[in-house]
Structure 1
Amino acid sequence: MIPRRIVPNLVAGLASALLLGACGSSTGAAPAAPASSAPAPPATPATSAASTPATGSPDTTTSVTARTLSGVGIVVTDERGLALYRYDKDQPSPSKWTCSGVCTKTWIPVIVQGPVQTSGVEKSLLGTVHRNGRTQLTLAGWPLYRYVGDTAAGQVNGQGKDGAWYAVTPAGKKSSAAG
């Protein structure tokens, strides 16, 4: 009677081992890093503006660039060409964010995980503020956000929303041009 139990259990064990072994290897490549490993290094300046950040998270930024966008003039964009905004109810000195909860579903905080590359933006004006265990990028002390309504590079659909949201200039000022 014992051999009848051993054979099915042995077959099940071997099948499990083979399946687990197949999951852990593919074409002889090195195994993937565990999820808790350090984040990928920031993108290089040569990275395309339309590419996804190295971390793969849509709210993580690796570079900021000053660009001329129709209707608002020269403003700051992320590596995907999306306009960055500041909120008049936030405080620049010391940096303090006030947009939270439901607000962050419309106005997505710009999160960073390492150094940020710049082009046309004075690096000394960049800073960060801690936000719920994450690090939000600031410019001239103003916490930065993306607008959920901007779905493509160059859009500034959030300009002037609620009389408090404005595309941010490379100096950290709000763009006074109409969106």
Structure 2
Amino acid sequence: MPRRIVPNLVAGIASVFLLGACGSSNDTGTAPAVVAPAATTSSAPAPSASASAPGDAGGSPGTTASVTATSVSGAGIVVTDDKGLALYRYDKDEPNPSKWTCKGACVKTWIPVIVQDSVGTSGVAQSLLGTVHRNGQKQLTLAGWPLYRYVGDTAAGQLNGQGKDGEWYAVTPSGGKSTATVTPAG
């Protein structure tokens, strides 16, 4: 029995490397967006978040299975992920067609929101959701804006990234940027 496990394990690892190489060749973030509404339900739990995207610094990006319009004290209604963490948009990105510009060191602070095949919604119009290709994966967009998490938000209800560098803003359910002035926690 042990003799079969090792060859199968080696074949499985080789397959992962080959598949990874196929999806990362020339993905620069300038390719046209593929914006299609996501399905409305998901019963699978989302994997945990990581601080980098494939091809940017190694590791797996954070994924989400749902987005929700959430009232955050002092900030109004913003969009959060399935863990209650605020989602942000970046003024340097482009919404039509969707184009991401945060890469390299940027994704260590601003984690792209990666989705699988379906995203549930609550208080966010399904028709406003889409994706843009990012290093062989799908980054979630809202009204065309690629979405991110801020590494400084460690609990639901925090908006520590709001207004950072005058370019990062919590996203509203319509895809706009929150105009709230928030005092960072700590």
2:107 to 83, 104, 109: 104
Percent identity for Structure 1 against Structure 2: 70
Unaligned runs of at least 5 residues, structure 1: 1-16, 24-33, 45-52
Give 1 or 2 for the bigger CA radius of gyration: 1
> Aligned partners of 2:42, 2:140: CA distance in 1, in Å?
16
| 2:65 is the alignment partner of 1:62 | yes
| 2:93 is the alignment partner of 1:90 | yes
**What TM-score, normalized by structure 1, do the two folds share?**
0.72
1:151 to 147, 150, 154: 154
**Residue 71 (structure 1) shift:** 2.5
Deviations 1:28-85 (A, max 9, x none): xxxxxx7879xxxx743xxxxxxxx724232011000000002321000000000000
| 2:66 is the alignment partner of 1:75 | no
Higher relative contact order (CA 8 A, sep 6+): 2
> Aligned partners of 2:130, 2:140: CA distance in 1, in Å?
6
Unaligned runs of at least 5 residues, structure 2: 6-11, 17-40, 50-61
Deviations 1:70-108 (A, max 9, x none): 232100000000000000000000000000000000000
> Aligned partners of 1:131, 1:178: CA distance in 2, in Å?
31
**What TM-score, normalized by structure 2, do the two folds share?**
0.69
Match for 2:89: what amino acid? R
> Aligned partners of 1:129, 1:173: CA distance in 2, in Å?
18
**Kept after mapping to 1: 8 A contact 2:110/2:150:** yes
**Kept after mapping to 1: 8 A contact 2:67/2:122:** yes
Structure 1 counterpart of 2:176? 173
Match for 1:56: what amino acid? P
> Aligned partners of 1:173, 1:72: CA distance in 2, in Å?
13
Computed over aligned residues only, the root mean square deviation of the Cα atoms, in angstroms, reads 2.1
**Kept after mapping to 1: 8 A contact 2:42/2:118:** no
